[in-house]
Each structure stands twice: as structure tokens, then as C-alpha cells.
């Protein structure tokens, strides 16, 4: 049996270490680009909601911007909750299926459409919907405080907010009203 020279083994280990460091650096870069895109999406949604006179002015500058924007978005969701019509979700399901939207994206489109219609109703001074017409809260199996999932969800809702499918759902809901 021939033995490998020590230099060859060390050279091979060095090449493996360099290649793994490149792979890890690339993975870190992809993760940071993804986080940056999510932050931009959330800022975009917060900007849209901020112009709707529903949010309160920003509190202090010492809070991180991303989390402040997430809180503002959630505050708007809570403010317009009584204006969410259950028919909007039905329009969202039917329209999403007709456009062959992927199932994981349908929920985000439905949430964005419900929010847009409710926000529009709130800003126009319409009355909140009757208690029996309010869309039910989505059932949650367990409450998990996971900021990564929350950021991903809000970024997805922000992208869905501006989607053509959502525009169609909002138009259908306006025709119904």
C-alpha cells in the first residue's frame, strides 16, 4: 500500500477549508440579501399604511426601524380589524385559484386584500361590518413568537399588497360594496 505524502494531505485539507469558507461566505451573503429585501418590503408596506392616517406618528428614534415598522403594521391591522369583511377572503380564494397562485402565497394575498379593503373602508368613513360579517380570526395551533417567521410573513403580505391578483380582489370587493 502506497502512503500519501504529508504535503499532499495538508494541501488537500487546505483546499477543502478554502472551498468551505467560500461556500459559507456565499451563504451569509445570500442570507443578508434576503433579510435586506424583507426589510425593504416591510418598510414599503409601513410607508403605504403611514399615509393612510391610521398609524400614530413614530415614537422615538432609539427603536430599531424594522421592529417599529412591524409594530405600526400590526397596529393598523388591529385598528381596521372590525372593517374586514368575510366576503373578501372568499373573493381571494376564488381569484387566487383561478390565477393558479401557489397555496403558500394565497394566505398572504388574502391577508393583503382583506387589509386593503378594510383600510379603504376605514379611510372612507364607512361603518364597521356587522359582528356576524366580520371575518373570523385564523385559527392558530400554537402561539410562537418567532421574529424570523413574522418578518417573512409581513414581507410576503407587502409583496402581495401590490400584486395584480390583489388588485383584482379589491376591485371585486368594491363592486360588492
C-alpha cell, 139:
385559527
Cell numbers at residue 6, please? 504529508
76-121 pLDDT, tens digit per residue, is 888 888 888 888 888 898 998 999 988 888 889 999 999 999 888 8
Contact between residue 115 and residue 160 where contact means Cβ atoms under 8 Å apart: no
pTM, whole model, 2 decimals?
0.69
Distances (CA, A) of 124 to 16, 33, 52, 83, 103: 63, 38, 10, 11, 32
Q: What is the pLDDT of residues 17-36, one digit of tens each?
A: 888 888 888 888 888 888 88
**For residue 113, what pLDDT is reported?**
92
Amino acid at each position: 500500500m502506497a502512503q500519501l505524502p504529508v504535503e499532499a494531505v495538508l494541501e488537500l485539507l487546505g483546499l477543502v477549508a478554502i472551498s468551505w469558507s467560500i461556500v459559507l461566505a456565499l451563504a451569509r451573503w445570500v442570507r443578508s440579501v434576503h433579510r435586506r429585501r424583507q426589510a425593504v418590503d416591510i418598510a414599503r408596506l409601513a410607508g403605504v399604511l403611514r399615509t393612510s392616517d391610521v398609524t400614530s406618528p413614530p415614537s422615538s428614534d432609539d427603536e430599531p426601524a424594522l421592529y417599529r415598522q412591524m409594530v405600526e403594521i400590526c397596529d393598523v391591522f388591529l385598528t381596521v380589524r372590525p372593517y374586514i369583511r368575510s366576503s373578501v377572503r372568499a373573493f381571494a380564494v376564488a381569484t387566487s385559484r383561478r390565477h393558479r397562485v401557489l397555496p403558500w402565497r394565497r394566505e398572504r394575498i388574502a391577508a393583503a386584500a382583506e387589509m386593503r379593503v378594510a383600510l379603504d373602508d376605514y379611510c372612507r368613513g364607512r361603518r364597521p361590518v356587522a359582528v356576524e360579517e366580520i371575518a373570523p380570526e385564523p385559527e392558530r395551533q400554537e402561539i410562537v413568537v418567532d421574529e424570523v417567521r413574522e418578518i417573512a410573513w409581513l414581507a410576503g403580505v407587502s409583496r402581495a399588497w401590490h400584486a395584480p391578483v390583489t388588485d383584482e380582489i379589491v376591485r371585486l370587493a368594491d363592486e360588492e360594496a
